[in-house]
Structure 1
C-alpha cells in the first residue's frame, strides 16, 4: 500500500464530511462507528487535518468536526500531504537514501513516471466532487459496504 493507514482513514473521513453538505459539525465518535475506525486513531488523524486548516473543530456537547472553507476546495493531494507528507512524491520506492538519476535504484525510472501519475490524479481529484459522485453511485467507504451516504 502506498498510503499509510492514517492517510487512508483520513481520506475516508474527509469524504464522509464532504458528503454531509449541511455544514454541521459531526461527532468523531459517530464517524468512527460509521466508518469502522478506532475512535482514538481517527481523533489523531482529524487533529492533523485540523492543524492544516482542512477541518474545523468545535468542542462541547454538540461539538465535532466539519470541513473548513479550505477543506471544501481541497484535492485528495492536499489531504495526502497533510497526513503523510510529501514522501510518496519525493522518496525512493525502495527507501534507498540518495536514489536519483546519478545513483538510481532498480525501480527509479519506472517509479518516477508512476508517482507523477499518482500525484497528477490526486491533484485533479476534488474532495467535494468525488464525495458527490460517491453519493450518486453509492460507492462504499467501509469494508462491509454498510455506510450510508445520506
Structure 2
C-alpha cells in the first residue's frame, strides 16, 4: 500500500498549521509540535528542510519561528512531500534511471509508470489552501456537481 512517511505527514501538518495562522508573522516549532503532538526534534528537522528548499521562511529572535514563503494557494502537497521524501516512486522499478533487472521482460512497467504519474499529478493539484479550507473546497465541488446535474 502506498503511504506517506511520518516525516511527510508531519511536514504537511506543519505547513497546514502555518497556513491556518496568516495573522501571525511566524509560528514556533514548539507551537506546531504541541498542536499535533509531533516530537519537537523531528519537527525541527522537517521545518529546517522545508526552509532549505524555500517553502518556509525562518525568523530568528525572541518572536522567531516559521512562516510560509508563498501564498498557501501556490504551494502543493507534492512540493512538501518531495522536499521531505524526495522523488515519488511507487515501485522499485520506477526510478530516476528507469532501469531494473527485469526491464527487458517486464509487462507492468508502463501501467505502473502511469499510476505513479497520476499520483504525482493528483498531489500537484492539491494546494495547501485546500487542506486548510476543506469545507469551502467541498462546497465548491458540490456546487460544480449540482451544475452538472442541472444540465
Q: TM-score, normalised to structure 2's length?
A: 0.74
Local SS of the residue matching 2:66: strand
Provide closer, same or farther for how the CA distance between residues 104 and 76 of structure 1 changes in structure 2, counting only shifts above 3 A.
farther
Query: Aligned-pair distance for 1:78?
Result: 1.1
Write out aligned runs for 1:94-105 (5 A): 94=92, 98-99=99-100, 102-103=103-104
What is the match of residue 126 of structure 2? 125
Distance 2:52 2:135 in 1: 26
Provide closer, same or farther for how the CA distance between residues 105 and 8 of structure 1 changes in structure 2, counting only shifts above 3 A.
farther
Q: Deviations over 1:24-66 (max 9, x none)?
A: 2111111101111000000000001001111011112211111
Query: Aligned-pair distance for 1:5?
Result: 1.5
Task: Give RMSD over aligned pairs.
Answer: 2.9
What is the match of residue 55 of structure 1? 56
Of 101-110 and 121-130, deviating more is: 101-110
Distance 1:37 1:23 in 2: 21
Contact 1:96–1:105, Cα closer than 8 Å, also in 2 = no
- Gaps of at least 5 residues in structure 1 are 138-150
What is the match of residue 35 of structure 1? 36
- Gaps of at least 5 residues in structure 2 are 139-151
Write out aligned runs for 1:1-150 (5 A): 1-69=2-70, 73-86=74-87, 88=88, 91=89, 93-94=91-92, 98-99=99-100, 102-103=103-104, 108-133=109-134
Distance 2:8 2:135 in 1: 19
Distance 1:83 1:119 in 2: 15
Number of corresponding residues: 134
Q: Deviations over 1:94-136 (max 9, x none)?
A: 4687239934667534422321221111111111232122688
Higher relative contact order (CA 8 A, sep 6+): 1
